[in-house]
């Protein structure tokens, strides 16, 4: 509990009690110890993350985690690398995924931040090349909805984290909302309050109808990044995203296990148990409550999910039992899962400190 909250509970006259003063000091000391331990875990998770080989979206989410945590020099170094690995058409950090499209926008926010921080023209040029590609050259359907890959006419639920937040930091707010609406239209299941994973525009059918947990988590986290950044002139769009986020959280939480974890396919108890959705939803809840667009009633569930994630933290700083790299069809470890542990812990600290 924050000191100002604690003090507001009691009349000021009572503070003359030495016992109460000691209680306050002890509570603050306990909080400081807790956050030091949290920092130690974050640092260990960062070290493990940085040892991992990374594809474009993995570089992007790792950069975002370090940016939100405040590791400025690491963000700048990784931004330089993302631009170094930029494809001729403008896609960032192109290593390991020849056909990545929306994924290659995921480093965009951190690259722009690093450009502004350093004044490095090469970083500005890299950001602008990506923006030009996304706005004018990226393959898309007849309604202008950008594909997840360059070589197949599909959108995945992952795209809500990879692409719209980049468009928002580029001040392309209308385009960001347009992309979100296009994906939501084909993937949202109103009865389940969950997103299916993949839609094929050419075949006009699902490429994967399963409600993949991490795909729903990508969307929750993407909306969480966008909501506070929409301008006052877009209150209607902001409120729509908040309603969608709440629906999505409610849909997922309905399937949360007693241990705070989820099955890889959220509504399929025969699929393996997975860790990362718990981190992604906890991050979204902590940020949403702090920002004032989510009710505090969600915190109890977020705390349980966070506890579950901590139980999967091993001696090397790896988060175990996540939807594992490189195929993401089995429990294992992955860069993005390290990143979301860092994001979750950062959001938790900012809410509680």
What residue segments make up the domains of the chain, in order of their start? Answer: 39-352
Counting as low any pLDDT under 70, the low residues of the chain are 1-38
Distance CA 258, CA 108 (A): 37
pLDDT attached to residue 37: 61
pLDDT attached to residue 97: 83
pLDDT attached to residue 8: 38
Distance CA 61, CA 337 (A): 9
CB of 314 closer than 8 Å to CB of 253: no
What tens digit of pLDDT does each residue of 62-81 get?
A: 999 999 999 999 999 999 99
Residue 257 structure tokens: 């296990």
Among residues 306, 336, 345, the alpha carbon closest in space to that of 161 is found at: 336
Distances (CA, A) of 156 to 144, 161, 194, 213, 222: 15, 10, 13, 12, 13
- How many residues appear in the chain? 353
Percent of the residues in the chain that have a pLDDT greater than 90, as a whole number: 88
Among residues 272, 197, 285, the alpha carbon closest in space to that of 242 is found at: 285
Q: Compute the CA torsion angle 129, 131, 136, 140 (nearest 10 deg).
A: 120
What tens digit of pLDDT does each residue of 160-175 get?
A: 999 999 999 999 999 9
Distance CA 80, CA 120 (A): 9
State whether residue 280 is helix, strand or coil. Answer: helix
Q: Which residues make Cβ contacts (< 8 Å) with residue 195, sequence separation at least 6?
A: 157, 184, 187, 188, 189, 211, 215, 216, 219, 248
Distances (CA, A) of 95 to 70, 83, 100, 133: 25, 11, 9, 18
Instruction: Return the residue matching tokens 């929409």.
Output: 230
Among residues 168, 186, 187, 189, the alpha carbon closest in space to that of 177 is found at: 168
**Cα dihedral across residues 251, 238, 173, 281: positive or negative:** negative
What tens digit of pLDDT does each residue of 10-35 get?
A: 333 333 445 455 554 565 555 555 55
Q: Check: CATH 1.50.10.10 for 39-352?
A: yes
Full-model pTM = 0.89
pLDDT attached to residue 147: 98
Instruction: Return the residue matching tokens 């509570």.
Output: 27
pLDDT attached to residue 188: 98
| Helix (H), strand (E) at residue 281 | helix 276-291
Distances (CA, A) of 336 to 63, 223, 273: 10, 17, 17
| Helix (H), strand (E) at residue 155 | strand 154-156
| Helix (H), strand (E) at residue 86 | none
| 338 CA to centre of own chain | 11
């Amino acid at each position: 509990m924050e000191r100002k909250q604690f003090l507001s509970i009691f009349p000021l006259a009572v503070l003359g009690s030495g016992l109460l003063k000691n209680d306050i000091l002890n509570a603050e000391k306990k909080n400081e110890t807790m956050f030091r331990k949290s920092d130690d875990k974050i640092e260990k998770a960062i070290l493990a993350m940085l040892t991992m080989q990374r594809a474009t979206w993995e570089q992007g989410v790792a950069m975002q985690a370090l940016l939100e945590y405040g590791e400025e020099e690491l963000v700048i170094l990784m931004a330089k690398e993302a631009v170094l690995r930029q494809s001729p058409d403008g896609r960032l950090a192109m290593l390991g995924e020849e056909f990545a499209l929306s994924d290659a926008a995921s480093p965009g926010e951190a690259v722009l931040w690093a450009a502004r921080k350093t004044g490095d023209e090469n970083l500005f040029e890299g950001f602008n090349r990506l923006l030009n590609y996304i706005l004018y050259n990226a393959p898309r359907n007849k309604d202008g909805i950008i594909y997840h890959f360059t070589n197949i006419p599909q959108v995945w639920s992952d795209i809500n984290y990879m692409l719209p937040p980049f468009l928002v930091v580029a001040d392309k707010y209308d385009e960001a909302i347009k992309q979100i609406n296009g994906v939501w239209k084909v993937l949202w299941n109103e009865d389940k309050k969950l997103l299916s994973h993949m839609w094929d525009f050419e075949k006009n059918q699902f490429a994967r109808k399963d409600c993949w947990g991490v795909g729903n988590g990508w969307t929750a986290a993407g909306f969480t990044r966008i909501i506070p950044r929409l301008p006052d002139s877009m209150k209607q769009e902001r409120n729509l995203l908040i309603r969608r986020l709440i629906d999505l959280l409610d849909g997922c939480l309905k399937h949360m296990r007693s241990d705070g974890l989820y099955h890889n396919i959220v509504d399929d108890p025969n699929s393996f148990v997975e860790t990362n959705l718990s981190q992604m939803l906890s991050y979204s809840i902590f940020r949403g409550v702090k920002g004032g667009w989510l009710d505090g009633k969600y915190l109890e569930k977020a705390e349980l999910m966070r506890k579950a994630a901590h139980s999967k933290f091993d001696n090397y700083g790896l988060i175990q039992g996540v939807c594992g790299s490189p195929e993401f069809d089995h429990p294992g470890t992955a860069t993005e899962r390290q990143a979301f542990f860092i994001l979750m812990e950062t959001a938790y600290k900012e809410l509680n400190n």
